[in-house]
Amino acid sequence: MEETCMVLSGDWFCSDVGTWDFVIEINRMGRMVEIYEGIGCKELEGNVLREFKLDEERYRVSLSYWPPTSFELATGIRTPPVLITNHGAVKYFCEHQKVKGGMNLFAKFELKTDCVDTEAPKKKVTKNKCGRCREEGHNRTNCSVAI
| Cα-trace Rg, the chain | 27
**CATH (residue range 2-111):** 3.10.20.90
pLDDT at 127: 63
pLDDT along the chain (147 residues), means of 10: 88 88 92 92 96 95 84 62 94 86 91 69 62 71 71
H or E stretch covering 49: helix 41-51
**How far is residue 144's CA from residue 147's CA, in Å, rounded to a whole number?**
9
pLDDT at 122: 61
Domain residues of the chain, as ranges? 2-111
pLDDT at 131: 66
pLDDT at 103: 86
| Eight-class DSSP state of 142 | G
**How far is residue 52's CA from residue 27's CA, in Å, rounded to a whole number?**
12
Q: Nearest-CA neighbor of 110 among 23, 40, 9, 20? A: 9
pLDDT at 126: 56
pLDDT at 39: 94
pLDDT at 99: 82
Q: What is the largest CA-CA distance in the chain?
A: 90
DSSP string, 54-111: --TTTEEEEEEE--GGG-S--TT--PPPEEE-SHHHHHHHHHHHHHH--PPEEEEEEE
